[in-house]
Amino acid sequence: MKIAVISDIHGNLDALDAVLADIARRGADVIVNLGDIVSGHLQPRATAARLMALDLPTIRGNHERQLLGDPARMGESDSYARAQLLPEQLAWIAALPATLRLRKDVLLVHGTPTSDLVYFLDSVTPQGSRAATQEEVAARADGGAAADVALILCGHTHMPRSMHLADGRLIVNPGSVGLQAYGDEHGYPHVMENGTPHARYAIAEQGADGIWMAQFHAVEYDWEQAARLALANGRPDWAVPLRTGRVGA
């Protein structure tokens, strides 16, 4: 089985279309979407329409949960998206599950199996963010829904990573389709940066021996146009990340 994995689109329709075209060129049995779909000052309504028409196996991320919450506690990205979305698009988001079994041995999560905010393959410390150790990842995959699967697909961090655990399970984060850098205060202040503006996704493939492996792909698109759109929509802080894959000053 060959699974194309997308996540963290954040309303960047041009990046999404470029990724979907690249997936079509390479081929996949199924495309799955791991959440954080529309939040951001780009094209939330058009992005939702595109994905609703495709009807991909899709879960919600923390931003889907947040944009349906209390408007008084909503961040800028969620508030902008909510104001742009049509009622039927909000209903689609509200119906998305937090996790999903694609099949018995494949689990889709946004953060970890138990949280849409906790990083799976990265760890945040007082010194910033770093790649998680195998012990840290194994603890986050311990028990519950993740115990009897061979492949766990996660998003949230925007960082493309994968790790085989000692028991053979593979955990894959495809990186972000739509935003290659951000700063966050959750846990401790930290930044996540990929260093280039390319849209990212992954393909997980099961070999004849039953072992899952992952390949990561970075795709060119018109990120300058995306940066100009963010500026026009009132988010100058998105321009540098969209253009460079760095947070900037």
What DSSP element (H or E) covers 181?
strand 181-184
- How far apart are the C-alpha atoms of 54 and 72, rounded to whole Å? 33
> Is 2:27 a contact under the CB 8 Å cutoff?
yes
Q: What is the chain's alpha carbon radius of gyration, rounded to the nearest angstrom?
A: 17
Please state whether beta strands 2-6 and 30-33 pair in parallel, antiparallel, or not at all (unpaired): parallel
Q: What is the pLDDT of residues 12-61, one digit of tens each?
A: 999 999 999 999 999 999 999 999 999 999 999 999 999 999 999 999 99
Q: Which of 53, 81, 41, 43 is nearest to 65 (CA)?
A: 81
Q: Is the pLDDT of residue 100 over 80?
A: yes
**Among 28-42, 61-75, 119-133, 139-153, which stretch is predicted with the lowest mean pLDDT?**
139-153
Q: Is the pLDDT of residue 7 over 80?
A: yes
248 pLDDT band, cuts 50/70/90, is: confident
Q: What is the length of the chain?
A: 249
Q: Which residue has the higher pLDDT, 214 or 145?
A: 214
The residue ranges of every structural domain in the chain are: 2-244
Q: What is the pLDDT of residue 249?
A: 63
Domain 2-244: which topology?
Answer: Purple Acid Phosphatase; chain A, domain 2 (3.60.21)
- How far apart are the C-alpha atoms of 226 and 22, rounded to whole Å? 19
How open is the CA angle 192-176-180, to the nearest 5 degrees?
45
What percent of the chain is predicted at pLDDT more than 70? 100
Q: Which two tokens stand for residue 110?
A: 């946004």
